Amino acid sequence: MRDLFVAMFREEWRIHAVLFGDAVFALLPVLVGAMAFMGTFLVPLVNRALPAGDLASIVHALYLLLGVMVGGFGLVGNEVMNRRFGQASFVAYAARTLPLSERQIFSAFVAKDTVYYLLFWVLPVVAGVAVASPFVGLPPGAVLCLLVSLPLSFLSGLSGLFLVTTVWSRSRAAFAVLAAVAVIAAGASVRATGGIPPFPPLALYRSFSWAVLAGTGIGIGAGFGVSLLLFEPRSPGGEHRHPDRFTGLLRRLHALPYPALTARDLLDLWRSGGGVGQVLFSLVLPLGLCWFLLSLLGPVLPPYGVLTLFSVLAGVLASTIYTWLTAFDSPGAYACLPVAPGDLIRSKLGLFALLHPVPAAIVLGAAVLSGNGPYAAPALGLMLGVSAWSAGIMVYLAGLSPNLLVYDPRVLFTYLFAVGLPAAGLIVLDLLDPWSGLAALLLVVPAVLAVRAAVHRWEEAEIFLS
């Protein structure tokens, strides 16, 4: 097992090193750390408007969210090993010839992914804060606490979603029971303590305690352990049969420009374990967390401010629907067909647009439930504009492989800059006048231009060889 973990770890590095170069890939944690370093200098400024405790809550909630975003292993089971890099992930493939069970191989894969995220995304932030802390008067004790609490926040989200998605995949009834138990436990806890109980890693940051550390560690370990026990390996010999759904979909989608490609993507999404699960765990749950996180800012924002920020974040998250549509697709599958890369991009964007009633409903629901119903239209405009622009940039930078965003620092930072700048401008405008959110719809124009440029760019690339 240990050897397998080490081999997978090395292989992961080499896959990225071949794609981006050793130095560029190694630069990723350095850049993450540098951003944290610079961000730390803003802490005294932010603290003028926001209490330090709330800022810590936000940072921890962000890392909980990151864990949630990457923890959906249970949704696709061991298919995730093929999904990440296909046959480039040779160790995951070749390990099946060794005297190891699918469960052991999968466990090594999950451990490798977890350690990678910790090393590339979590610990560099702590390092950046640590280096900057003497300049902003952050006590060394706080940095030490962050070194423990931030990774635990990330691991809580990851193991929590791993558990939830595994239970979901095994039994919808068990999932309903688990959800009911969680809601009842949260309700009982609120009643007993008179408020929302502190998130354990955050409690550790505020006041370190060995007991809380042990409890959190046991909870996270139990999440991983139960998930791996419940994990159901999909043996290569199993046969899943389905009646023909393609013909009916093709008929219904005939008005679209690429009905066959769109029907195929829809079936991929539905049968891959995605569908409802994907919507629930990649959109509803993270957006729920976002709402909770943003509601902490309520006291320092105008009445509609939380909805403004939520709509922008919903737009960014909604743009990741494009990644759902590429996750199971290999451009090589079209090598023998009269299909151009541009056709694939356009067909996926068509389905991307078709699926947008889902985030639109979430934003409308948030507007109405938060008492901001009158501002539902600009909130919707914000979400749609930001989503269109983010997706346009994503398609331009990464084509049919949006997972490049996470691993290539050049692509990632270009994306963050291109999306962050207009998003920040829109937030400022919207906080000044809530109706200016409608202006975000203008982003659809540069988004269309970005897609046109993307089609031209990726038509030139030899994507069918990937």
Partner 1 sequence: MALVIEAEGLSKRYGETVAVDSLDLAVPGGALFGLLGPNGSGKSTTIRMLTGQAKPSAGRARVLGVDVAADPVGVRRLVGIIPEQETPPSFLTAAEYLRFVSAVRDFAGGEKAAQWWFDFLDFGDKRDVLCKDLSRGTRQKLMFAQAFLHSPRLALIDEPLVNFDPIVQHQVKEFLVEYVKRGNTVFLSTHILEVAEEICTGYAVLHRGRLLATGRPDELREGGRHLSDVFLDLVRRERGHA
Nearest residue to 284 (alpha-carbon basis) of 340, 361, 191, 352: 361
Asked if 259 interacts with partner 1 (CB under 8 A), we say yes
Instruction: Confirm or reject binding of residue 339 to partner 1 (CB under 8 A).
Output: yes
Among 261, 314, 351, 427, contact with partner 1 (rule: CB under 8 A): 261
Alpha-carbon distance 412 to 318, whole Å?
17
The phi, psi pair for 242, rounded to 5°, reads -140, 140
Contacts of 32 (CB under 8 A, 6+ apart): 120, 121, 124, 125, 128
Cβ 11 to partner 1 shortest distance, Å: 20
Cα-Cα-Cα-Cα torsion 459, 462, 464, 466, nearest 10 degrees, comes to: -130
CA-to-CA separations, 163 to 156, 173, 275, 449, in angstroms, rounded: 10, 15, 18, 41
Residue 297, classified by CB atoms within 10 Å of its CB into exposed (0-12), middle (13-18) or buried (19+), is middle
Q: Write down the least CB distance from residue 262 to partner 1, Å.
A: 11
Q: Shortest distance, CB of residue 406 to partner 1, whole angstroms?
A: 22
DSSP 156-169: HHHHHHHHHHHHHH
- How far from the centroid of its chain's Cα atoms is residue 174's Cα? 25
Give residues 206-245 in contact with partner 1 (rule: CB under 8 A).
Answer: 236, 238-245
- Contact between 340 and partner 1 by CB under 8 A: the answer reads yes
335 is a contact residue toward partner 1 (CB under 8 A): yes
Number of residues in contact with partner 1 under rule CB under 8 A: 36
What track of x and - describes contact with partner 1 for positions 294 through 333 (by CB under 8 A)? ----------------------------------xxx-xx
DSSP-assigned letter for residue 196: P
CB atoms within 10 A of CB 405: 19
Residue 79 C-beta: closest distance to partner 1, Å: 8
Position 54 contacts partner 1 (CB under 8 A): no
The stretch among 269-277, 291-299, 366-374, 442-450 that binds partner 1 (CB under 8 A) is: 269-277
Does 263 interact with partner 1 (rule: CB under 8 A)? yes
Stretch that binds partner 1, among 91-99, 197-205, 262-270, 303-311 (CB under 8 A): 262-270
Tokens of 152: 């635990």
Total count of residues recorded for the chain: 466
State the burial class of residue 255 (Cβ atoms within 10 Å of its Cβ: 0-12, 13-18, 19+): exposed
Burial of 121 (0-12, 13-18, 19+ CB in 10 A): middle
Q: Give the residue, chosen from 114, 166, 272, 370, that forms a contact with partner 1 under the rule CB under 8 A.
A: 272
Q: Is residue 465 near partner 1 by the rule CB under 8 A?
A: yes
- For residue 400, the minimal CB distance to partner 1 (Å) is 14
To partner 1, the closest distance from the beta carbon of 168 in angstroms equals: 18
Nearer to partner 1, 71 or 331 (CB): 331
CB of 456 to partner 1, least distance (A): 15
CB nearer partner 1, residue 219 or residue 342: 342
As a dihedral over the C-alpha atoms of residue 71, residue 74, residue 78, residue 79, rounded to 10 degrees, the angle is -90
Contacting residues toward partner 1, per CB under 8 A: 236, 238-247, 250, 259-261, 263-264, 267-268, 270-272, 328-330, 332-333, 335-340, 462, 464-465
